Amino acid sequence: MSHRPLLRAAASVAALLLAVSAQAAEKPATVHPKLWPAAKSPIGLDPVIEKRITDMLARMTVEEKVGQVIQPEWKSIKPEEVTQYHIGSIENGGGAVPNGNKHATVKDWVDLIEPYYQASVAPGQKVTIPLIWASDAVHGHNNVYGATLFPHNIGLGAAHDPDLLKRIGEATAAEVRSTGMDWSFAPTIAVARDDRWGRTYESYSEDPAITRQYAAAMVSGIQGAGATFLDDHHVIATAKHFLGDGSTDGGRDQGNSTVSEADLARLHGAAYADAINAGTQSVMASYNSWHGTKMHGNKALLTDVLKGRMGFDGFIMGDWLAHAQIPGCSNSDCAPAFNAGLDIFNAPQDWKPLYANLVREVKDGTIPKARLDDAVRRILRVKFRLKVFDQPSPANRPETFKPIGTPEHRAIAREAVAKSLVLLKNNGVLPLKAGARVLIAGDGADNIAMQSGGWTLSWQGADNTNADFPGATSIYEGLKAQIEASGGQALYSPDGTGPQKPDVAIVIFGETPYAEFMGDQSDVALHHDNSESLELIKKLKAQGIPVVAVMMSGRPLYVNPQINAADAFVAAWLPGSEGEGVADVLTGKRDFSGKLSFSWPKRPDQTPLNVGDKDYAPQFAYGFGLSYAAPAETPQLPEVADTTKYGEKNVYLSKGTFWNGYKLTLSDNAQHRMDYVGSQATLYGTAALTVSPETDGAVKAVWNGKARAALEVGADAPSDIAREANGAMMIALSIRVNATPSAEVRLGVGSASVPVTGWLKNASTSYATLAVPLSCFKAQNLAATPTVARIETAGALDISVSDIRLTETRPGASCPAE
């Protein structure tokens, strides 16, 4: 393995901050509805239903109406509160699994949902409005153990097959129905224009043409159409996130978009017209801003464009506490969002004060009564269309408890995997020859978690193993079965070593799972594997073994060194649970048909890069994809020297590399401060702390116990990790204790801290992860914290720290007691 210098040049954070402060000053652009595509729902208003809604509205109190426009997450509400507050819907966020058990069964899900539903129809209410339940079924019913996991949207984009999308939508809806739910927060119809964005994989394409076709196909699949519209087999779809989530500057999640109105309409808005024309009943508003105005507060776009010009007659769902990001708003108070046209607040936390504030604001006129009636009318309209007033309870519906992860659904997923693969290079080695001895290597080879990416059993999907995926097949397992069936031999060795020389090797590698902002990067390099894949390919090639490289990733990445080193290169995206789909194509059982729906970069800094750009010069153009039928030799591609400068967002230290502007600082109470720059450093003055590099990239820190001193992680500018705290992330440090503490040790974020002495005293002598929820540090303003981690003690202590990052909270994680 090559030596990696400890501290890499850090830049661009300043540029980013400049861009952020510039945005605040910008005036919201005006909107010209005529620039936008007109649309029309195929469902139409039913006068009988509208009359019933009018009657219901006349009988409902303000309180009853407000309950319909608030959606808590189940973790923050008890069933009896549904009756008390007239709650109209509930969600489970990513990984909010029953009893915190990610192996929860279908029955566990139904058992979770049923009491909330029953509370909504409890006798004695003036009007009885059944509750509906929403989940992010974004690549299959991905929060549910044993569900079929389809490729993420980026792979589906490469398949160019709307009919396949419709079938995936149908299969997903059936699995959602099985668990007694009514509603999916999908499809994402973002058009990602800058692949640094952590949600690029949720986007079908950088070009709206594919997204438009897919939006329609997926909505029809999830909801049904015509005679099957919202029947027992279908659920409500949600086109998200409106609008311009894929257009933010720098690809920053929840960031600001400065595109023109014409581009916002043409590139990002067009697919909403298609989703509405296909009958989508829900649209989710986006976190991002447009010219400085948060979408949740943009009346021109939510009301004039979406509900006016595009004729959307369903409801606008909010995103997770996104209303709180509007200036002047908080989790629990945001009349401006509602007045702008939001119909349902996404309120996983703080929904009770939100309820009280909304009731007050309607009563004092801050929110017009007509606006509240409009929102509730839309919600009731969709509930009538879903026939919830006539349906039995979740546990008693005909489709509930039907098997999930069925062979039929898995066959669709396998087909989707095969159709999503894009062959970027094949200098003669593929298809695999029948009877060959094939080495299968790489950390992605037998790794269903990597195949599945984020939004899988947990929000980030980072904590899964193959044991979490019953019925699924890793790429290795799929290959082994087919290679052996053809009379060949499959040798599995993650690091590529083994006693027998193979005829050919397949190296499978790529990105490890992430979701939302956690996947934001400062460039389009492959950070998650830190060049291990390249070294493995080269090592095999040096032994004269032909190599096929298969990369799993949520975006196109600059990997020219890997492409050059290998004889063939396949972009496999995030294929999901059916790894055999890869074997179907590598063995030649079917040909490659996938074509790039995203332009492929030739440098790590070549982003944004989109088809139609002036001076468009990608490595592989939009639409590229080789096949067995149309082979071509790929020449050596240009290589760029250093590609691992900036790393992943919120991974502050990994394998000796610091993230974008982050560094370690030694400090004490006597105002002594010094930055660690990669070589041994002793705090001047008190000399209480000495930090030095270890050969493996870890940092050794020794406190001598003579004075109080701290080791801090931060950047020059304050860090904003408020959103991460809302998302229940933890600060996690991989620590080896070399000598246990002689006095109290505290772990801090900014000025807030918790004791970690007990953990350090009990730690073994190998690396272990010390992780504390960010919510334990709420005493610090997490939107602007000077440090993201601080280890402080006045005693003696000797530790090595190899990794510092934010990770998703594990069930049961709590704050260390004082």
Residues that bind ligand BGC (CB under 6 A): 93-96, 136, 185, 240, 319-320, 459, 516, 727-728
CA distance 572 to 461: 18
Q: Which is nearer to ligand BGC, 325 or 599 (CB)?
A: 325
Q: Cβ(89)–Cβ(238) under 8 Å?
A: no
Check whether the bond before 431 is cis (ω within 30° of 0).
yes
Q: Which is nearer to ligand BGC, 133 or 569 (CB)?
A: 133
Compute the least distance from the CB of residue 774 to ligand BGC, in Å. Answer: 11
DSSP labels for 513-582?
P--GGGG-BSSSB--SSTTHHHHHHHHHHHTT--EEEEEE-SS--B-HHHHHHSSEEEE-----SBTHHH
Is there a catalytic annotation at residue 81? Answer: no
Using left for φ > 0, alpha for ψ between -120 and 50, and beta otherwise, residue 435 falls in left
Q: 598 vs 244, 601, 603, 674, CA distance in Å?
A: 17, 9, 15, 44
Q: Which is nearer to ligand BGC, 319 or 803 (CB)?
A: 319
**Cα-flanking dihedrals φ and ψ of residue 35, to 5°?**
-70, -10
Compute the least distance from the CB of residue 126 to ligand BGC, in Å. Answer: 31
Q: Which is nearer to ligand BGC, 319 or 578 (CB)?
A: 319
Q: Which is nearer to ligand BGC, 75 or 103 (CB)?
A: 75
Compute the least distance from the CB of residue 39 to ligand BGC, in Å. Answer: 22
Q: Cβ(48)–Cβ(317) under 8 Å?
A: no
Q: Which is nearer to ligand BGC, 714 or 727 (CB)?
A: 727
Compute the least distance from the CB of residue 89 to ligand BGC, in Å. Answer: 12
Q: E strand or H helix at 146, and its extent?
A: none
Compute the least distance from the CB of residue 178 to ligand BGC, in Å. Answer: 20
Compute the least distance from the CB of residue 321 to ligand BGC, in Å. Answer: 8
- Active-site hit among 136, 182, 319, 520: 319
Compute the least distance from the CB of residue 240 to ligand BGC, in Å. Answer: 6
How many Cα atoms sit within 13 Å of 645 on the Cβ side? Answer: 16
Is there a catalytic annotation at residue 532? Answer: no
Q: Could you report how far apart the first and last alpha carbons of the chain are, in Å?
A: 43
3-class secondary-structure state, position 305: helix
Compute the least distance from the CB of residue 127 to ligand BGC, in Å. Answer: 28
Q: 238 vs 143, 283, 309, CA distance in Å?
A: 17, 5, 19
User: Angle 270-277/208-223 helices, nearest 10 degrees?
Assistant: 30
Among the listed residues 799, 818, 800, the one whose alpha carbon sits nearest the alpha carbon of residue 740 = 799
Angle at 513 between CA 523 and CA 595, to 5 degrees: 65
Other beta carbons within 10 angstroms of residue 250's beta carbon come to 19
Residues 6+ apart with CB under 8 A from 93: 73, 136, 320, 348, 459
Tell me the two tokens of residue 285: 């508003």
DSSP 265: I
Radius of gyration of the chain (CA): 27
Q: Which is nearer to ligand BGC, 449 or 505 (CB)?
A: 449
Q: Which is nearer to ligand BGC, 142 or 643 (CB)?
A: 142
Among the listed residues 143, 220, 225, the one whose alpha carbon sits nearest the alpha carbon of residue 181 = 143
Compute the least distance from the CB of residue 195 to ligand BGC, in Å. Answer: 18
Compute the least distance from the CB of residue 245 to ligand BGC, in Å. Answer: 8
Q: Cβ(283)–Cβ(317) under 8 Å?
A: yes
Q: Which is nearer to ligand BGC, 286 or 785 (CB)?
A: 286
Q: Which is nearer to ligand BGC, 79 or 727 (CB)?
A: 727
Q: Which residue is nearest to ligand BGC (CB)?
A: 93
Tell me the two tokens of residue 14: 């300043």
Compute the least distance from the CB of residue 470 to ligand BGC, in Å. Answer: 23
CA distance 455 to 240: 15
Residues 6+ apart with CB under 8 A from 744: 755, 757, 793, 794, 795
DSSP labels for 272-285?
HHHHHHTT--EEEE
Q: Which is nearer to ligand BGC, 456 or 657 (CB)?
A: 456
- Active-site hit among 81, 91, 274, 516: 516
Angle at 339 between CA 337 and CA 342, to 5 degrees: 50
Instruction: Catalogue the active-site residues.
Output: 319, 516
